[in-house]
A and B are shown apart, each in its own frame.
Chain A
Amino acid sequence: MLARVANNLFWMGRYIERSEHVARYLNVNYFSSLDAPNLKSQDRQFVLRSMLFMVGDPEEDPDKFLKEEDVLYKIGLDPTYSSSIINNIKFARENANSARDLISTELYEAINKFYHFVINYPKEIFVKNGLHDFTTNVAEMTDILRGKIRGTLLHDATYAIISMGINIERATQITRMINAKFNDALLSQGGENDKFSKSFEWTTLLKCAESYDMMRRFYKKTPTSITTLEFLILNPNCPRSVMNSLNQVNQHVKILNPERRYNKDSTAFLIGRVRSEYEYKYIEEIDQDIKSFIENILKSLVDISDKVDEEFFNY
């Protein structure tokens, strides 16, 4: 496979995955906050700020009044904002375009339909009452795309590259959400019922990651900071966890480079190293300093992505 095309496929995977998480974050935060148990979590301004924080563009001025329509438009459909959902999908399609000869017709057609859906979504409807419809559709279409990727591509290097993109992005986005919600939980703690560890934000976080039901089934208790983080970071059986994503990346890199020789400069080595670090971690170790733990994960993920770039796409 051409190095340039591999790069395109990798980023196609990342953009597809990214658009889903951003869409779901908007959806869940917006709608679950409507009847949140405490005033802070219900506050519109608080929710909008959380959204901006998650996409990496936090509003620094604490006194600024944010207009709901502006924020939603910016993150959803603003073609001039590079991290908007519409641009994620545009980039996904552009990357798919240059790898068009390698991906299946079915996959390409699904991406193309997705693109036309987003590009033609009326802005007025979106900011007034289309948020639910739009974000649900985006999330569903990314599911279709993942289905097409799994079901219509040969499970060879092409598939491995796309899957690595998807999983590195998933781990990154989950971590970003944890970061955003950790921040929200800190900000929203107050009265007797609003302790950090029992914050309503942990439930929201799990819903953003589509993991609430799984988590309830596993712990059979109301989520706390510890159980939520343990589940989303360390539990390898949770399909959205950082651990699970790392395990998948680890499997896929072996398709690209099946070499078993000791090579500490390889991507496989780095992934294995990061993976084993989290595999045998106690959540209690993390709980002491969540902030730097999150920073560490993000850094590791960036390092892995850079390493992939260096080993496979560098030309």
Chain B
Amino acid sequence: MIFAIYHVPFNKTIFMENIENQIFSSYQKNPDLYDEIHDKKGKVKEVYQKLFNLYGEHSIKDYVTLNNKAKSSFFNQGITFQVYGENNIQEKIFPFDLFPRIIDPVDWDIIERGSIQRSKALNLFLWDIYHDKKILKDKVVPVELITSSANYLDQMNGLNPPGGIYNHISGTDVIKHKDGKYYVLEDNIRCPSGVSYVICNRTALKKALFGVFNHYQTHTVTNYAENLLELLESVKPKGVDVPNVVVITPGMYNSAFYEHSYLAKTMGVELVEGRDLFVENDFVYMKTIKGPEKVDVIYRRIDDQFIDPLEFNPDSVLGVPGLFAAYKKGNVTLANAPGTGVADDKAVYTYMPEIIKYYLNEEPILNNVHTYHCSRPDELKYVLEHIHELVIKPVDEAGGYGISIGNKLSKEEIEKVKAEVKASPRKYVAQPIMSLSVHPTYIDDTESFEQRHVDLRTFTVLGKDKEFVLKGGLTRVALQRGNLIVNSSQGGGSKDTWVLKK
């Protein structure tokens, strides 16, 4: 009843019957989509062959049993997020799919180098726009992009963060388009979350299907915490010998609280809330059972506006009064630095190829989704002619408002959008409609594997002269058929992601 046993080995001896690929027998391949496990001819790719065979030896029933056991394991471990209903709070698990995604060493090399390249470029960009602003003066990025951004913090102007690092932790959302190439959809350099799920997914898959790991040489993902701690220690404030690192969380009711506690625990550092800290003479202390203890590096999982009520949002009860002054005086490190949000705006994204080139003098390793700026006449012309195959986005609207997807518009609607774009071209950008690759995913309702869109969030950590990309990452699955949005609050799930050793 309560003590679920989930150590059911998934190997041949238990299942005597061996029907040819039972669980994939009803898998339907849509030729218009890029299927990650099949090649163009519909044959299973070599790297997936073994996995395909191993899974195929079993019936859907076996699979369902394992799937349920994995679910209850997540539930018992309390790896849940809360959904606030009308009169109760429900705990839900982040849906997890037992069929893993494999990334071969060649592809991974591109993703890893590309993620580091972007993180480094963004870091240099942040330093520049909070100091000399050369990239603006050289007209590579328009000044309005920065000055009109609500995420640009005037207080960060001229401030030198310890170690020169702003975006210590970045999450890069990457997709594979139907052309088989990787594209970045978004950079997340505020408080990107999800890394704990990467590790939990691996643990769950290992428990449920340890047999399959014998057949693949997969990189570990459990080394994230030690790397993170090492990098956080590398950006300690001046004059500190062995820094005291803490993780600050908004509290146990935050939807990512599990991740916060996971990171604190695996790094072996304290998980604090704002009320556990105080500032005295511009140094930060935490309240322990033995009195105050100085804190040197804070991995913060609280948004900029809430970190210090005396400096930012005065209504914040999550922050620490005086924290920013301590930071400004160089007595404490905040990771990520305040004000990083300005660089992961949608508008800045469109300039990423130029930003990479400007600071690193390199070509971007990962593609950006090409962006047409309607403010440029020749690009406007292209946009107006190809509106049916483009996504039109307003530059200054966040959160998906005012987006028109060309191939879903009626003729009248297309004309309407055209008129709007023509009337104020500076307000719009356009991008090709991206088609996310699909991956076989077990669907409860139909009790079979179906194609579902996936993306990948990689986790990059930048320290002083050090960097690290977690060899894995979070593959997110859009569980609703045809849905392109892969987000946990919108019915998304996830998969274990295997990066194979060379």
A contact set with B: CB distance below 8 Å = 1-6, 94, 97-98, 100-102, 105, 108-109, 112-113, 116-117, 157, 161, 256, 312-313, 315
Contact = CB atoms under 8 A, between A and B. Distances in A.
B265 A2 contact: no
B272 interface: yes
A204 to B, nearest CB: 29
A247 B252 CA distance: 34
Nearest to A96: B78
Contacts of A94: 252
Contact of B265 (A100, A112, A116): A100
B268 to A, nearest CB: 9
B75 A101 contact: no
Contacts of B276: 2-5, 315
A2 B270 contact: yes
A116 B76 contact: yes
Given A101-B261, A315-B276, A1 B3 contact: no
Most chain B CB within 10 A, of A94, A101, A102, A157, is at A101
Contact of A3 (B1, B75, B78, B288): B288
A112 B80 CA distance: 11
Given A116-B2, A315-B276, A105 B77 contact: yes
A113 B2 CA distance: 7
Most chain A CB within 10 A, of B1, B2, B286, B289, is at B289
B287 A315 contact: yes
22 contacts: A1-B270, A1-B288, A2-B276, A2-B288, A2-B289, A3-B276, A3-B287, A4-B287, A5-B271, A97-B252, A98-B251, A100-B252, A100-B261, A100-B265, A101-B247, A101-B265, A102-B265, A105-B77, A112-B77, A116-B75, A117-B2, A313-B289
Given A113-B3, A315-B287, 15 more contacts: A1-B270, A2-B276, A3-B276, A4-B275, A5-B276, A97-B257, A100-B258, A101-B247, A102-B265, A109-B76, A109-B78, A112-B77, A116-B2, A256-B289, A312-B289
B261 A2 contact: no
Closest 9 CB pairs of A and B: A315-B287, A101-B265, A101-B264, A100-B261, A101-B271, A312-B289, A101-B261, A112-B78, A3-B287
A101 B75 CA distance: 17
Contacts of B275: 4, 315
A155 to B, nearest CB: 16
Contacts of B251: 98
Contacts of A102: 265
Contacts of B265: 100-102
B233 interface: no
Nearest to B277: A2
Interface of B: 1-3, 75-78, 247, 251-252, 257-258, 261-262, 264-265, 270-273, 275-276, 286-289
B347 to A, nearest CB: 38
Nearest to B267: A101
B378 to A, nearest CB: 55
A212 to B, nearest CB: 28
Contacts of A312: 289
A257 to B, nearest CB: 9
Contacts of A313: 289
Contacts of B272: 2
A256 B291 CA distance: 12
Nearest to A3: B287
Contacts of A98: 251-252
A233 to B, nearest CB: 30
A294 B76 CA distance: 41
Nearest to B75: A116
B271 A6 contact: no
A116 B286 CA distance: 33
A116 B4 CA distance: 13
A315 B2 CA distance: 39
Contacts of A108: 77-78
Nearest to B77: A109
A94 B257 CA distance: 13
B294 to A, nearest CB: 14
B273 A4 contact: yes
A315 B272 CA distance: 13
A2 B76 contact: no
A141 to B, nearest CB: 8
A123 B451 CA distance: 42
Contacts of A113: 2-3, 76
Given A112-B76, A113-B2, A116-B76, A6 B289 contact: yes
Nearest to B270: A2
Contacts of B288: 1-3, 6
A235 B298 CA distance: 50
Given A109-B77, A112-B76, A315-B276, A3 B289 contact: yes
Most chain B CB within 10 A, of A6, A98, A117, is at A98
Contacts of B2: 113, 116-117
A313 B265 CA distance: 21
Given A101-B264, A117-B2, A1 B75 contact: no
A280 B319 CA distance: 52
A97 B75 CA distance: 14
Nearest to B266: A101
A252 to B, nearest CB: 13
Given A1-B288, A116-B2, A101 B270 contact: yes
A216 B366 CA distance: 78
Contacts of B264: 101
A89 to B, nearest CB: 13
A157 B288 CA distance: 11
Contacts of B289: 1-3, 6, 157, 161, 256, 312-313
Contacts of A3: 276, 287-289
